[in-house]
Copies of this chain bind each other. A is one copy, B any other.
Amino acid sequence: MITLALDAMGGDNAPALVVYGAQIALKEIDDIKLIFFGDEKQLLPLIKKANLDENRIAVHHTDDIVTNEMKPSIAIRKGRNSSMSLAIKAVKEGRADAVISAGNTGALMALGLFGLRMLPGIDRPAIAAVMSAYERDCLMLDLGANAECSARNLVEFASMGHVYAESVMDVKNPCIGLLNIGAESGKGNKLIQDAHKILQKDSLGLNYIGFVEGNDIANGTVDVVITDGFTGNVSLKSIEGTLKASKKIITDEIKHSVLAKIGLFIAQKALRKAYKRVDPRRYNGAWLLGLNGVCVKSHGGTDEFGFYNAIKNAYSTAQKGLLPKMKAHLESHQADYWIEEEGL
Protein backbone atom coordinates (compact mmCIF):
# COMPACT_ATOMS: atom_id res chain seq x y z
CA MET A 1 0.00 0.00 0.00
CA ILE A 2 1.30 3.47 -0.97
CA THR A 3 0.14 6.43 1.12
CA LEU A 4 0.10 9.88 -0.50
CA ALA A 5 -0.14 13.25 1.26
CA LEU A 6 -2.27 15.77 -0.67
CA ASP A 7 -2.03 19.52 -0.17
CA ALA A 8 -5.79 19.96 -0.59
CA MET A 9 -5.66 23.78 -0.63
CA GLY A 10 -3.19 24.37 -3.51
CA GLY A 11 -4.35 25.11 -7.08
CA ASP A 12 -6.76 27.52 -8.78
CA ASN A 13 -9.79 25.38 -8.09
CA ALA A 14 -8.80 23.80 -4.76
CA PRO A 15 -10.02 21.92 -2.83
CA ALA A 16 -12.55 20.61 -5.43
CA LEU A 17 -9.71 19.98 -7.91
CA VAL A 18 -7.92 17.81 -5.37
CA VAL A 19 -10.96 15.85 -4.18
CA TYR A 20 -12.18 15.01 -7.69
CA GLY A 21 -8.64 14.16 -8.80
CA ALA A 22 -8.45 11.85 -5.78
CA GLN A 23 -11.77 10.29 -6.75
CA ILE A 24 -10.31 9.19 -10.10
CA ALA A 25 -7.10 7.98 -8.45
CA LEU A 26 -8.94 5.83 -5.87
CA LYS A 27 -10.91 4.22 -8.68
CA GLU A 28 -7.92 3.65 -10.99
CA ILE A 29 -5.23 2.62 -8.52
CA ASP A 30 -5.97 -0.19 -6.05
CA ASP A 31 -3.14 0.09 -3.58
CA ILE A 32 -3.23 3.74 -2.55
CA LYS A 33 -4.37 5.58 0.51
CA LEU A 34 -4.74 9.36 0.52
CA ILE A 35 -4.38 11.91 3.32
CA PHE A 36 -5.96 15.31 2.63
CA PHE A 37 -4.38 18.30 4.38
CA GLY A 38 -6.63 21.35 4.51
CA ASP A 39 -9.80 22.98 5.72
CA GLU A 40 -12.21 20.21 6.76
CA LYS A 41 -15.19 22.55 6.56
CA GLN A 42 -14.61 22.71 2.83
CA LEU A 43 -13.24 19.20 2.41
CA LEU A 44 -15.78 17.01 4.21
CA PRO A 45 -18.82 18.00 2.13
CA LEU A 46 -16.82 17.55 -1.10
CA ILE A 47 -15.51 14.16 0.03
CA LYS A 48 -19.04 13.08 0.87
CA LYS A 49 -20.32 14.32 -2.47
CA ALA A 50 -17.53 12.46 -4.30
CA ASN A 51 -18.37 9.37 -2.26
CA LEU A 52 -14.74 8.53 -1.47
CA ASP A 53 -14.01 5.20 0.28
CA GLU A 54 -13.60 6.12 3.97
CA ASN A 55 -11.18 3.28 4.59
CA ARG A 56 -8.70 4.64 2.08
CA ILE A 57 -8.67 8.31 3.05
CA ALA A 58 -7.96 10.51 6.03
CA VAL A 59 -8.42 14.23 6.58
CA HIS A 60 -5.95 16.30 8.54
CA HIS A 61 -7.46 19.67 9.34
CA THR A 62 -5.60 22.95 9.17
CA ASP A 63 -6.78 26.52 8.64
CA ASP A 64 -3.46 27.77 7.27
CA ILE A 65 -2.64 27.98 3.60
CA VAL A 66 0.27 29.09 1.44
CA THR A 67 -1.06 31.59 -1.08
CA ASN A 68 0.18 31.90 -4.67
CA GLU A 69 1.53 35.36 -3.95
CA MET A 70 3.54 34.31 -0.87
CA LYS A 71 7.32 34.57 -1.21
CA PRO A 72 9.23 31.37 -0.38
CA SER A 73 10.97 33.06 2.57
CA ILE A 74 7.59 34.09 4.04
CA ALA A 75 6.19 30.59 3.45
CA ILE A 76 9.04 29.16 5.53
CA ARG A 77 8.62 31.69 8.34
CA LYS A 78 4.84 31.76 8.51
CA GLY A 79 3.65 28.62 6.75
CA ARG A 80 4.58 25.91 9.29
CA ASN A 81 0.97 24.91 9.82
CA SER A 82 -0.11 25.32 6.24
CA SER A 83 -1.65 22.43 4.32
CA MET A 84 1.47 22.34 2.12
CA SER A 85 3.87 22.21 5.04
CA LEU A 86 1.93 19.54 6.95
CA ALA A 87 1.71 17.34 3.85
CA ILE A 88 5.49 17.57 3.44
CA LYS A 89 5.93 16.79 7.15
CA ALA A 90 3.90 13.59 6.71
CA VAL A 91 6.50 12.39 4.18
CA LYS A 92 9.39 13.46 6.37
CA GLU A 93 7.98 11.51 9.33
CA GLY A 94 7.25 8.42 7.24
CA ARG A 95 3.45 8.66 7.48
CA ALA A 96 3.24 9.15 3.70
CA ASP A 97 5.37 7.97 0.76
CA ALA A 98 4.98 11.10 -1.36
CA VAL A 99 3.45 14.59 -1.33
CA ILE A 100 1.47 16.27 -4.14
CA SER A 101 0.65 19.98 -4.33
CA ALA A 102 -0.84 22.24 -7.01
CA GLY A 103 0.15 25.31 -4.99
CA ASN A 104 2.92 27.93 -5.15
CA THR A 105 6.01 26.34 -6.79
CA GLY A 106 8.62 28.51 -5.09
CA ALA A 107 7.08 27.87 -1.68
CA LEU A 108 6.84 24.12 -2.33
CA MET A 109 10.51 24.05 -3.26
CA ALA A 110 11.48 26.06 -0.17
CA LEU A 111 9.29 24.11 2.25
CA GLY A 112 10.35 20.84 0.59
CA LEU A 113 14.02 21.71 1.02
CA PHE A 114 13.43 22.84 4.58
CA GLY A 115 11.36 19.80 5.52
CA LEU A 116 12.90 16.96 3.53
CA ARG A 117 16.50 18.19 2.98
CA MET A 118 18.63 17.08 0.03
CA LEU A 119 19.70 13.62 -1.04
CA PRO A 120 23.32 13.01 -0.04
CA GLY A 121 25.56 13.93 -3.01
CA ILE A 122 23.11 16.41 -4.56
CA ASP A 123 23.88 20.10 -4.33
CA ARG A 124 20.66 21.61 -5.74
CA PRO A 125 17.22 20.15 -6.51
CA ALA A 126 15.75 20.33 -10.02
CA ILE A 127 12.24 20.51 -11.37
CA ALA A 128 11.78 17.58 -13.77
CA ALA A 129 8.84 16.71 -16.00
CA VAL A 130 8.02 14.24 -18.74
CA MET A 131 7.47 16.07 -22.02
CA SER A 132 5.11 14.84 -24.70
CA ALA A 133 7.30 14.05 -27.68
CA TYR A 134 7.03 12.40 -31.06
CA GLU A 135 9.45 9.47 -30.89
CA ARG A 136 9.13 8.78 -27.17
CA ASP A 137 8.39 10.62 -23.97
CA CYS A 138 11.37 12.44 -22.60
CA LEU A 139 12.26 13.68 -19.13
CA MET A 140 13.59 17.22 -18.99
CA LEU A 141 15.31 18.93 -16.08
CA ASP A 142 15.80 21.57 -14.67
CA LEU A 143 12.62 23.41 -15.59
CA GLY A 144 13.14 26.40 -13.37
CA ALA A 145 14.36 25.62 -9.86
CA ASN A 146 17.78 27.17 -10.55
CA ALA A 147 18.06 30.35 -12.63
CA GLU A 148 21.83 29.92 -12.44
CA CYS A 149 23.54 26.53 -12.56
CA SER A 150 27.08 25.22 -12.24
CA ALA A 151 28.54 22.33 -14.27
CA ARG A 152 28.30 20.28 -11.06
CA ASN A 153 24.55 20.91 -10.97
CA LEU A 154 24.12 19.77 -14.58
CA VAL A 155 26.08 16.57 -13.93
CA GLU A 156 23.94 15.83 -10.87
CA PHE A 157 20.78 16.47 -12.90
CA ALA A 158 22.03 13.89 -15.42
CA SER A 159 22.54 11.27 -12.68
CA MET A 160 19.07 11.92 -11.26
CA GLY A 161 17.50 11.87 -14.73
CA HIS A 162 19.24 8.57 -15.50
CA VAL A 163 17.88 6.85 -12.39
CA TYR A 164 14.43 8.30 -12.94
CA ALA A 165 14.20 7.15 -16.58
CA GLU A 166 15.52 3.71 -15.70
CA SER A 167 13.42 3.04 -12.63
CA VAL A 168 10.17 4.95 -13.24
CA MET A 169 9.94 5.19 -17.05
CA ASP A 170 11.35 1.64 -17.37
CA VAL A 171 13.88 2.65 -20.03
CA LYS A 172 16.97 0.42 -20.15
CA ASN A 173 20.18 2.44 -20.34
CA PRO A 174 18.36 5.73 -21.07
CA CYS A 175 20.18 8.08 -23.41
CA ILE A 176 20.91 11.53 -22.09
CA GLY A 177 21.49 14.72 -24.05
CA LEU A 178 22.74 18.13 -22.91
CA LEU A 179 20.69 21.01 -24.34
CA ASN A 180 22.88 23.27 -26.47
CA ILE A 181 22.72 25.60 -29.49
CA GLY A 182 24.36 23.19 -31.91
CA ALA A 183 25.44 19.56 -32.05
CA GLU A 184 29.11 20.23 -32.87
CA SER A 185 31.59 19.76 -30.03
CA GLY A 186 32.83 23.37 -29.78
CA LYS A 187 29.35 24.93 -29.50
CA GLY A 188 27.84 26.63 -26.47
CA ASN A 189 29.07 28.56 -23.47
CA LYS A 190 31.59 27.65 -20.76
CA LEU A 191 29.01 26.04 -18.48
CA ILE A 192 27.99 23.65 -21.26
CA GLN A 193 31.57 22.85 -22.21
CA ASP A 194 32.54 22.13 -18.60
CA ALA A 195 29.55 19.85 -18.02
CA HIS A 196 30.09 18.12 -21.39
CA LYS A 197 33.65 17.21 -20.38
CA ILE A 198 32.56 15.53 -17.14
CA LEU A 199 29.46 13.84 -18.56
CA GLN A 200 31.65 11.84 -20.94
CA LYS A 201 33.45 10.02 -18.08
CA ASP A 202 32.57 6.32 -18.20
CA SER A 203 32.60 5.94 -14.44
CA LEU A 204 29.48 8.11 -14.10
CA GLY A 205 27.52 5.14 -15.46
CA LEU A 206 25.49 7.31 -17.86
CA ASN A 207 24.57 6.75 -21.48
CA TYR A 208 25.49 10.33 -22.40
CA ILE A 209 25.17 10.96 -26.13
CA GLY A 210 26.34 14.60 -26.21
CA PHE A 211 24.49 17.74 -27.29
CA VAL A 212 20.88 18.01 -28.34
CA GLU A 213 19.03 21.11 -29.60
CA GLY A 214 15.67 22.70 -28.85
CA ASN A 215 13.87 20.78 -31.59
CA ASP A 216 15.01 17.46 -30.11
CA ILE A 217 12.69 17.97 -27.12
CA ALA A 218 9.38 17.71 -28.99
CA ASN A 219 10.91 15.17 -31.36
CA GLY A 220 11.91 12.89 -28.47
CA THR A 221 15.44 12.25 -29.72
CA VAL A 222 16.67 11.24 -26.26
CA ASP A 223 15.15 9.90 -23.03
CA VAL A 224 16.54 12.64 -20.80
CA VAL A 225 17.30 16.29 -21.64
CA ILE A 226 19.59 18.14 -19.23
CA THR A 227 19.59 21.94 -18.99
CA ASP A 228 19.91 24.80 -16.53
CA GLY A 229 16.69 26.08 -14.95
CA PHE A 230 16.64 29.33 -16.91
CA THR A 231 16.89 27.76 -20.35
CA GLY A 232 14.65 24.84 -19.33
CA ASN A 233 11.88 27.08 -18.09
CA VAL A 234 11.95 29.32 -21.18
CA SER A 235 11.99 26.26 -23.46
CA LEU A 236 9.09 24.55 -21.63
CA LYS A 237 6.98 27.69 -21.75
CA SER A 238 7.91 28.30 -25.41
CA ILE A 239 6.58 24.81 -26.19
CA GLU A 240 3.41 25.28 -24.11
CA GLY A 241 2.83 28.69 -25.69
CA THR A 242 3.25 27.29 -29.20
CA LEU A 243 0.70 24.51 -28.61
CA LYS A 244 -1.75 27.01 -27.13
CA ALA A 245 -1.29 29.59 -29.91
CA SER A 246 -1.63 26.89 -32.61
CA LYS A 247 -4.89 25.72 -31.07
CA LYS A 248 -6.18 29.32 -30.93
CA ILE A 249 -5.20 29.95 -34.56
CA ILE A 250 -6.99 26.80 -35.77
CA THR A 251 -10.08 27.63 -33.66
CA ASP A 252 -10.12 31.16 -35.13
CA GLU A 253 -10.06 29.90 -38.67
CA ILE A 254 -12.72 27.21 -38.32
CA LYS A 255 -15.05 29.51 -36.36
CA HIS A 256 -16.17 31.29 -39.51
CA SER A 257 -16.43 28.28 -41.79
CA VAL A 258 -19.34 25.85 -41.77
CA LEU A 259 -17.45 23.52 -44.08
CA ALA A 260 -14.50 23.41 -41.68
CA LYS A 261 -16.80 22.61 -38.78
CA ILE A 262 -18.37 19.73 -40.71
CA GLY A 263 -14.97 18.46 -41.82
CA LEU A 264 -13.51 18.52 -38.33
CA PHE A 265 -16.60 16.82 -36.97
CA ILE A 266 -16.05 13.96 -39.41
CA ALA A 267 -12.32 13.79 -38.59
CA GLN A 268 -12.81 14.20 -34.85
CA LYS A 269 -11.89 10.68 -33.75
CA ALA A 270 -8.42 10.82 -35.31
CA LEU A 271 -7.90 14.43 -34.20
CA ARG A 272 -8.81 13.51 -30.62
CA LYS A 273 -6.28 10.69 -30.72
CA ALA A 274 -3.67 13.17 -31.99
CA TYR A 275 -4.57 15.71 -29.29
CA LYS A 276 -4.41 13.03 -26.61
CA ARG A 277 -0.75 12.50 -27.50
CA VAL A 278 0.10 16.09 -26.50
CA ASP A 279 -2.66 16.73 -23.91
CA PRO A 280 -0.89 18.71 -21.16
CA ARG A 281 -3.14 17.14 -18.52
CA ARG A 282 -1.69 13.71 -19.29
CA TYR A 283 1.78 15.09 -18.64
CA ASN A 284 0.83 17.01 -15.53
CA GLY A 285 2.98 16.54 -12.46
CA ALA A 286 6.59 17.65 -12.12
CA TRP A 287 9.07 16.16 -9.67
CA LEU A 288 11.25 18.15 -7.32
CA LEU A 289 14.16 15.78 -7.83
CA GLY A 290 17.04 15.89 -5.38
CA LEU A 291 14.88 16.24 -2.28
CA ASN A 292 15.12 13.39 0.21
CA GLY A 293 11.45 12.55 -0.29
CA VAL A 294 9.08 12.24 -3.25
CA CYS A 295 7.49 15.62 -3.96
CA VAL A 296 5.31 16.24 -7.01
CA LYS A 297 4.08 19.64 -8.22
CA SER A 298 0.84 19.80 -10.19
CA HIS A 299 -0.01 22.70 -12.52
CA GLY A 300 -2.20 25.11 -10.53
CA GLY A 301 -4.61 25.57 -13.43
CA THR A 302 -5.19 21.91 -14.31
CA ASP A 303 -8.48 20.04 -13.92
CA GLU A 304 -9.26 16.88 -11.93
CA PHE A 305 -7.95 14.63 -14.70
CA GLY A 306 -4.67 16.56 -14.67
CA PHE A 307 -4.48 16.37 -10.88
CA TYR A 308 -5.15 12.63 -11.06
CA ASN A 309 -2.11 12.31 -13.34
CA ALA A 310 0.02 14.16 -10.80
CA ILE A 311 -1.19 11.68 -8.15
CA LYS A 312 -0.38 8.78 -10.50
CA ASN A 313 3.12 10.18 -11.06
CA ALA A 314 3.75 10.43 -7.33
CA TYR A 315 2.37 6.93 -6.84
CA SER A 316 4.61 5.33 -9.53
CA THR A 317 7.66 7.12 -8.22
CA ALA A 318 7.09 5.90 -4.67
CA GLN A 319 5.95 2.44 -5.72
CA LYS A 320 8.97 1.88 -7.96
CA GLY A 321 11.37 2.96 -5.22
CA LEU A 322 12.99 5.94 -6.96
CA LEU A 323 14.63 7.34 -3.84
CA PRO A 324 16.50 4.23 -2.67
CA LYS A 325 17.61 3.59 -6.25
CA MET A 326 18.83 7.15 -6.59
CA LYS A 327 20.76 6.96 -3.33
CA ALA A 328 22.38 3.70 -4.43
CA HIS A 329 23.38 5.17 -7.80
CA LEU A 330 24.80 8.34 -6.29
CA GLU A 331 26.83 6.33 -3.79
CA SER A 332 28.29 3.93 -6.32
CA HIS A 333 29.24 6.41 -9.05
CA GLN A 334 31.93 9.00 -9.00
CA ALA A 335 30.35 12.27 -10.07
CA ASP A 336 31.99 14.06 -7.16
CA TYR A 337 35.38 12.68 -8.09
CA TRP A 338 35.26 14.14 -11.58
CA ILE A 339 33.82 17.42 -10.41
CA GLU A 340 36.78 17.82 -8.03
CA GLU A 341 39.24 16.56 -10.63
CA GLU A 342 38.13 19.15 -13.18
CA GLY A 343 38.14 21.85 -10.49
CA LEU A 344 34.46 22.73 -10.98
In the assembled complex, A74 has its CB within 8 A of some CB on chain B? no
Q: Is the CB of B269 within 8 A of A241?
A: no
Q: Is the CB of B188 within 8 A of A215?
A: no
Q: Is the CB of B189 within 8 A of A217?
A: no
**Cβ–Cβ < 8 Å partners of A148 in chain B:** 189-190
As a 0/1 sequence over residues 309 to 337 of chain A, the CB contacts with chain B under 8 angstroms (1 = contact) are 00000000000000000000000000000
Q: Is the CB of B215 within 8 A of A249?
A: no
In the assembled complex, A134 has its CB within 8 A of some CB on chain B? yes
Q: How far is the CB of A26 from chain B (nearest CB, A)?
A: 32
Tell me if A's interface is mostly helix, strand, loop or mixed.
Answer: helix
Q: Is the CB of A257 within 8 A of B241?
A: no
Q: Is the CB of B266 within 8 A of A241?
A: no
Q: Is the CB of A181 within 8 A of B144?
A: yes
The CA of A273 and the CA of B250, in the complex, are separated in Å by 9
In the assembled complex, A278 has its CB within 8 A of some CB on chain B? yes
Which chain A residues (235-280) contact chain B, with CB distance < 8 Å? 235-246, 248-250, 252-254, 256-257, 259-271, 273-274, 277-278
Q: Is the CB of A270 within 8 A of B266?
A: no
In the assembled complex, A233 has its CB within 8 A of some CB on chain B? yes
* Copies per complex of this chain: 2
Given contacts A181-B230, A187-B147, A260-B267, contact A274 B253 (CB under 8 A): yes
**Cβ–Cβ < 8 Å partners of A263 in chain B:** 262-268, 270
Q: Residue A230 contacts which of B188, B237, B248 (CB distance < 8 angstroms)?
A: B188
Given contacts A181-B144, A181-B234, contact A257 B239 (CB under 8 A): no
The CA of A248 and the CA of B220, in the complex, are separated in Å by 12
**Cβ–Cβ < 8 Å partners of A133 in chain B:** 245
Q: Is the CB of B259 within 8 A of A241?
A: no
In the assembled complex, A167 has its CB within 8 A of some CB on chain B? no
Which chain A residues (48-95) contact chain B, with CB distance < 8 Å? none
Q: How far is the CB of A330 from chain B (nearest CB, A)?
A: 27
Given contacts A239-B238, A241-B217, A253-B270, contact A229 B181 (CB under 8 A): yes
Q: How far is the CB of A247 from chain B (nearest CB, A)?
A: 10
**Cβ–Cβ < 8 Å partners of A236 in chain B:** 214
Q: Is the CB of B190 within 8 A of A219?
A: no
Q: Residue A267 contacts which of B218, B230, B259 (CB distance < 8 angstroms)?
A: B259
Q: How far is the CB of A5 from chain B (nearest CB, A)?
A: 27
In the assembled complex, A213 has its CB within 8 A of some CB on chain B? yes
Q: Residue A134 contacts which of B248, B256, B267 (CB distance < 8 angstroms)?
A: B248
In the assembled complex, A179 has its CB within 8 A of some CB on chain B? yes
**Cβ–Cβ < 8 Å partners of A227 in chain B:** 234
Can you show 8 pairs from A to B with CB atoms below 8 A apart? A214-B234, A214-B241, A231-B234, A238-B242, A253-B271, A253-B273, A254-B270, A263-B265
Binding site for B on A (CB under 8 A): 133-134, 144, 147-148, 179, 181, 187-190, 192, 213-220, 227, 229-231, 233-246, 248-250, 252-254, 256-257, 259-271, 273-274, 277-278
